[in-house]
Amino acid sequence: MALKPPPFLQTLASFLLVLLACSEASPQQGLPNYVRFSFDAALFPVEAEYDYIVVGGGTAGCPLGATLSEGGHRVLILERGGSPHEFPSLSTMDGFLPTLSSAFLASDSPAHPFVSEDGVPNARGRVLGGSSAINAGFYSRAHPEFFHGAAPEQGGVAIKWDMGMVNESYDWVERAVTFRPELRSWQSAVRDGLLEANVTPYNGFTVHHVAGTKIGASTFDPSGQRHSAADLLAFADPDNIRVALRANVDRILLNPIHGGRRRNQHAAIGVIYRDRYGRRHHAMTRPNGEVILCAGALGSPQLLLLSGIGPRAYLSSWGIPVSLHLPDVGQNMADNPRNGISIVPPGPPLDHSLIQVVGITQSDGGDTGPFLEAASNVVPFFSNSRLPPFLHPHTGTTPLYLTVATLIEKVPGPKSFGSLRLASLDSRDNPLVRFNYFSSPDDLEACVSGTRKVGEVLAGRSMDEFRVPPGWFGNGLEKRDFRFVGAELPENMEDDASVKEFCRRTVATIWHYHGGCVVGKVVDGDYKVMGVASLRVVDGSTFSVSPGTNPQATLMMMGRYMGRKMNEERRMIERRRNRRRTTTAPPPGP
């Protein structure tokens, strides 16, 4: 049963909201400037009107909301999590693994865990800034093909991108949140190993997607501090924007349009959301306003289904009134599979690093092949009889801290697709999702190619300092070169069956899942939900492929890009309205 605040607390909360909203004082020292307009959802009125309601203050939602507010519009961002500064572990790269590993233990973790029906653990952002506030910080623009068409196997439609505005939007993001990383031991060795393995040419530092080996940008600055999409709220007009934290949207409010061009067409007029006490709030749109879903590849299709937009028979089976039969909501779900190895170097501990170097391979036909990336992390290992001897040299519960270096490959695309379905009628529950990893033979072949390339990197001279001395293992394992943690590469890398079995057995996520509201299936080329007025989806759920080595750059760009487009659309509407008023005005008197 939901807890409700006592009446006096509700009154006090409303008073504080008015006081804070009217205050012109600068934000508290040391806190980000968006604290000026970010408040707990319990402080918001039970009903209020806005020009734009952005559901999800994540990687796309923050730049979108900031840009819309620049246009002079009243904007509300509804974020189901808290603020990044509430979670100190998010501020540096050292907190990346602890945040993910502790996600299953805390109900309010900024990383909301889920396990796909494939059995692969995963996580989604539950904090202002979304997954850009919990990820490994790698930043790289989309591959050029992303802007020139859609996946034909899904019947996708091409979006008419304004490439000038695309590049300006990327630039806007990069000035605020990207930095050139400094390569240290493991990242430098992987860069050299990729070149030895003929992942060429060497492109140096670049944010562009180019074949070969490159150093990408990072959202961690030189002092190691993280910068996420939440930082882009610094560009918002504080008088025009409010961010509601811990606001869980239950459903979209729809009204039928009578006399429209299409039968049973509806228009979004607002949303219902709950605060931490379970109290319901109505956020309504003003005339010409819109609801924009930026809740991610899981949240956006889930909200459409809960609002009666989706396959008719499926919605009826849940007892959800059907507003619009849209059969592809929740379909075409995909996640880029990750496979790789982890080793413990024999020498002194390595520097902590997240992804900084990437190898972008090409197939024999010239198409983009698997991506190779690396990281090194200090992790604790406890005494455990099931661990190899070198991982528990003493007894007791005191952990032994070791550096684990990883080398992974990511399958591009991918071409394997699954689906999403509801787990309950409560929007706070994760939906059920199946990605069907490697159901496409092309994806499995790509994994084989990428795994073999990992083996080539490990065989290079650049890896010599990470090999164990001869005779280290004994017991018939003298030929082993590395101290592996977890799965090892197959002994016979030329055996297709062995490498395919390795791919299937060790598949993991790289957290780049997408789909569920794909362009051409659920939304049109302007990201408007087909058959519903005043409702858009602007996030990774609209992607039919993951845009390059990491999607966060393109998602932040997309938020800025669509905000600018929508501001332009609004100005055109207002100009047309003003012209009509001028034309129909009565002539002046004598």
CB 260 within 8 Å of CB 20:
no
How many secondary structure helices (H) and strands (E) does the chain include? 10, 25
> Which residues are paired to 160 by β-bridges?
none
d(CA 487, CA 473): 17
511 is in an annotated binding site: yes
Facing residues of 123 across strands? 113
CB of 14 within 8 A of CB of 279? Answer: no
Q: Which residues pair with 244 in a beta bridge?
A: 39, 78
Q: What is the DSSP letter of 313?
A: H
Question: Do residues 350 and 183 touch, judged by C-beta distance below 8 A?
Answer: no
Give the C-alpha distances (Å, rounded to integers) separating 90 from 84, 107, 109. Answer: 7, 16, 11
Collapse the DSSP code of 171 into the 3-class scheme (helix H, G, I; strand E, B; otherwise coil) and give the result. Answer: helix
Q: What is the C-alpha separation between 515 and 116, in angstroms, rounded? A: 14
Angle at alpha carbon of residue 270, lines to 269 and 275, rounded to 5° = 170
* Residue 181 annotated as part of some ligand binding site: no
3-state secondary structure 408-457: EEECCCCCCCEEEECCCCCCCCCCEEECCCCCCHHHHHHHHHHHHHHHHH
CA distance from start to end of the chain: 70
From the candidates 143, 209, 352, 512, which is the catalytic residue? Answer: 512
What single DSSP character describes residue 269?
A: E
Question: Minimal CA–CA distance to 208: which of 449, 557, 456?
Answer: 557
Q: Is the peptide bond before 349 cis (omega within 30 degrees of 0)?
A: no
Residue 210 CB neighbour total at 10 angstroms:
14
Token representation of residue 409: 């490959």
**Token pair in block for residue 189:** 């060795």
Query: Is 540:56 a contact under the CB 8 Å cutoff?
Result: no
Is 318 known as a binding-site position?
no
Q: Is 127 annotated as a binding-site member?
A: yes
Strand partners, 380: 401
* Strand 47-55, strand 75-79: pairing: parallel
3-state helix, strand, coil in the chain (%, to 5): 30, 25, 45
85 is catalytic: no
What gap in Å lies between CA 186 and CA 352, rounded to an integer?
9
Task: Give every CB contact of residue 125 below 8 A, 6+ residues apart in sequence.
Answer: 58, 59, 81, 110, 111, 112, 131, 132, 133, 134, 296
Q: Is 209 annotated as a binding residue?
A: no
* 280 dihedral zone (left: phi>0; alpha: psi -120 to 50; beta): beta
Pair type for strands 368-381 and 357-362: antiparallel
CA-based diameter of the chain, in Å? Answer: 109
Q: Are 77 and 575 in contact (CB under 8 A)?
A: no
**Residues in binding site:** 127, 249, 511-512, 540, 551-552
**Residues in binding site for FAD:** 127, 249, 511-512, 540, 551-552
Q: Which residues are part of the catalytic machinery?
A: 512
